[in-house]
Structure 1
C-alpha cells in the first residue's frame, strides 16, 4: 500500500470514529438538521408568524427542494421551539426529506404548527442543550449533524450558551445561528462569540423580522449544500 493510500485510509477511519460508526459503515442519511425557533417573550404574534411562514416558504421553495434532492441519503429534519429554562419542545417530529415533494410536506407541517409559549425568558444555552438531546433520538446516523438556532435577543436565563454549544460540538455537531437584529443590546456579538461552534459554523443575519424569510432561505441553502469535510489534507 502506498503512503498516499495509507493516509487516506487513516482519514476515513478517523472520520468514521468521529461519527460513532464502524469503519466501512454506510451513512443512512446525509444531514441531520434540528431547527430551533425562538418563541420567547420578545417575539410577538406577528413576528412568530413571520418566522414560521418564512421557514415553511423556504422548504417549499424550488431551490431548497433541489438542494435536498442532491444530498445523498437525504435530510433528517425536526423542529423545536424554545424560550426560558424548562421551556423547550419538539413541535414537529423527525421527517426524512429526499426530494421537493417531501420538503413541501414538511413545509405544510410547519404551517400548521402552533406556538408553545408566549411570555417567558431567553435561555439560549438550554435551547442548544435540548436540541443536542433530541439529536440523540434521531432514527438514523447522518454524515453531518447541524443545530440551526434562531433568535432575536441575548440569553438571560439558564446555562451559559458556550457550555451547551461546546458540549454539542464535542459530540460532532455544528451549531449555526440566525440572528434577528433590532433589540438592545444587539444579540449578534453573543451569537458569534458564545453560540456558534463546530466545523464550518456560521451566523446568518436578518436585519429585523421582515428580513427573516430571505435570511432563513440563505441559511438553509448554505447548510444543506455544504459538503462534509473529512480533512483539508485528504487529497495529499
Structure 2
C-alpha cells in the first residue's frame, strides 16, 4: 500500500493556484436522525478532524484545502455550520472544530430533501475559493422523499467537473448504499464509503476524509496528466 506521505507528495502539482481542493460536507439531520444519532455524527466529525492522519492530509503539501460544512433535511432547510475556510495550519483546524462543536441543530422534524441538498452543495461550491478540484461530500440514512430527487437535480443543473461522494448510513432503509451508488454519487472516481449503522459513522467519515484528501486527489492528478 502506498504510504500517505507519498500520496500527498504526488498530489502536489506545479500548476496549483494555492488551493488543491474545495471540500463541502453535507450532513443529514432529517427526522430519522435522532438526538443520539446527531451526537454520534457531530462527535465523529470532530474526532476525524483531530486525527493525526487527517490533520496531516489537510496540511501537506503546502497547497491548501478549503472546507465548508452544512446540515440538510427538508427541501427548504439547509443550514451552514462552517462557511468556506482555507486550512493553512492546525490553528484553523482547531477553530473549525470549535465552530462545529458550538453549532446547534436548527430542526429535527423535517423530511429528507436529498435533491435540494445536492443543489445547495452545488451552489455552495460555486462560490468556493479558487481550487484545483471541487468535491461535495453528502451523508445520509434515507432516500429523498421531499422535493426534487437527485436524478432530477442532475438533469436540470450543471455540476461541471464537481465530484459528489456519498456516505450512506445503514440501519433505517434497506439498500441505502445501492441507492447512493446509483442515484447520488457523480463524476469520474466518485465513491461511497458505507457506515453500517450510525455507530459506524465515526470510522466511515474518517476514512472518507482520508480518501478525499489523498487517494482521490492523486487519481485526479494522474488523470489530468493523460493526453485528451
TM-score (norm 1): 0.83
Report what 1:164 is aligned to.
Answer: 153
Report what 1:85 is aligned to.
Answer: 75
Report what 1:151 is aligned to.
Answer: 140
Report what 2:198 is aligned to.
Answer: 209
**Cα deviation 1:87-136 (Å, max 9, x = unaligned):** 11212111111333322321222111111210010011100000111112
1:35 equivalent in alignment to 2:25: yes
The number of aligned residues is 212
- CA shift at 1:156, angstroms? 0.8
- CA shift at 1:77, angstroms? 0.5
Structure 2 portions without partners, runs of 5+: 1-13
TM-score (norm 2): 0.86
Decide whether aligned partners of structure 1 residues 26 and 166 sit closer, same or farther in structure 2, where only a CA change above 3 A counts: farther
1:219 equivalent in alignment to 2:208: yes
Alpha-carbon distance between aligned partners in 1 of 2:31 and 2:124, rounded to the nearest angstrom:
24
Decide whether aligned partners of structure 1 residues 185 and 152 sit closer, same or farther in structure 2, where only a CA change above 3 A counts: same
Alpha-carbon distance between aligned partners in 1 of 2:95 and 2:50, rounded to the nearest angstrom:
8
Structure 1 portions without partners, runs of 5+: 1-23
**Matched position secondary structure for 1:135:** helix
Decide whether aligned partners of structure 1 residues 71 and 145 sit closer, same or farther in structure 2, where only a CA change above 3 A counts: farther
Decide whether aligned partners of structure 1 residues 142 and 112 sit closer, same or farther in structure 2, where only a CA change above 3 A counts: same
Report what 2:226 is aligned to.
Answer: 234
Report what 1:112 is aligned to.
Answer: 102
Structure whose CA Rg is larger: 1
2:122–2:159 contact (8 Å) kept in structure 1 = no
Report what 1:198 is aligned to.
Answer: 187
2:16–2:132 contact (8 Å) kept in structure 1 = no
Alpha-carbon distance between aligned partners in 2 of 1:209 and 1:130, rounded to the nearest angstrom:
24
Across the aligned residues of Structure 1 and Structure 2, the Cα RMSD in angstroms comes to: 2.2
Selected match of 1:135 from 89, 113, 125: 125
1:165–1:175 contact (8 Å) kept in structure 2 = no
Decide whether aligned partners of structure 1 residues 224 and 121 sit closer, same or farther in structure 2, where only a CA change above 3 A counts: same
